[in-house]
Amino acid sequence: MSGIPWVLHVDLDQFIAAVEVLRRPELAGKPIIVGGRGDPTERAVVSTASYEARAFGVGSGMPLRIAARKVPDAVILPVDQEAYLEASEQVMGCLRAQPGSTVQVLGWDEAFVGVETENPEAYARQVQAAVLGETLLHCSVGIGDTLVRAKVATGFGKPAGVFRLTEANWLEVMGSRPTKDLWGVGSRVSARLAKLGIHSVAELAACDPTDLVPEFGPRMGPWYAELGRGDGARVVDDTPWVARGHSRETTFQQDLTQPAQVDEAIRELATRVLDDVEAEGRPVVGLTLKVRYAPFFTKTHARKIPETFDRNEVLSRARDLAAAIEVGRPIRLLGLRAEMAMPDDARTGHTPTRGGW
């Protein structure tokens, strides 16, 4: 296939909910909430919600009990990671089978597809038809001349649509929007930009990148200015993604209030995280402890450590971080993330990612 190089961002619509409907067709059209063990009386958060549930204000990350109050007649289901992974692998295989495609997987439900074509809209529709035909799942496709523009474009195509964003129409479409609408910015960075007098995408695009350096540093400052213009990488990289770290977290059904409880929880988290790290065969070089106090205040404590494979050393360092926990303050969640040394040939760069700490 030959033509103009394009980036397509393929994003599965309400992916987890859609997989559940495929397994239970009788749920089609009903408000579906997926989270935790499917019990709203337990502490858990929403992993995803169907469009019908989202219409009531339910969103990912919302406490499950609050979501259940918003939609009393919702069908609440437990998370089934294996089912979602299996469906995701089918979709990614379908994308790789498309003529002339280069596929960069971003997560269970999204990927970039690089292709050379004279008609990217027609190719996008072909991709949608192939995914639907093979997996019965609908997807939206953003088309762009950079990865950033393709990713942002997808939001305008949902659900099951196609939208194109390029240098030519970027500011027309995005210029008046708040900076938090940009992929990789979010509400916290947007608030910091607002302190500099930058509120809209157009203002960010027009700023002098050096003006952002005092607030964000010499690397991230110019990068945020680049995001404002929609610029960045134009080539889809299918190099296998290499995890920088592994994390585990636990939401406790009853708050932890005793030091011995906290110590036991950290020991258990460290064991689970190190099991994941050992499978990678790379040493730990940093730790981050996430603490969520009741009712819902979160703090993180991070530290670089000398490269080590020693489980006892990692546990000791994790306990050192735990010394910063406020004594006697009830804890509803603990999480531990272990950063690993990166192989020399691992993909690098500043492509924004979703989630994480």
Catalytic residue among 52, 110, 226, 339: 110
Query: Is 65:33 a contact under the CB 8 Å cutoff?
Result: no
110: annotated active-site residue = yes
Q: Which two tokens stand for residue 282?
A: 């790379």
Compute CA distances 40 → 60, 133, 221, whole Å: 14, 35, 42
Query: Is 315:270 a contact under the CB 8 Å cutoff?
Result: yes
Compute CA distances 241 → 6, 24, 347, 348, whole Å: 21, 33, 7, 9
By CB atoms closer than 10 A (0-12, 13-18, 19+), residue 238 is: middle
Q: How far apart are the first and last CA of the chain?
A: 41
Identity of residue 224: Y
Beta strands in 118-207, from DSSP E residues, in sequence order: 139-144, 162-165
Cα 53–Cα 54–Cα 56 angle in degrees, nearest 5: 75
Find how far residue 126's CA is from the centre of its chain: 26
d(Cα 208, Cα 216) in Å, to the nearest integer?
13
Identity of residue 339: E
Find how far residue 296's CA is from the centre of its chain: 21
SS3 content of the chain, % helix, strand, coil (to 5): 40, 25, 35
Q: Which two tokens stand for residue 245?
A: 């770290």
d(Cα 181, Cα 179) in Å, to the nearest integer?
5
Catalytic residues: 110
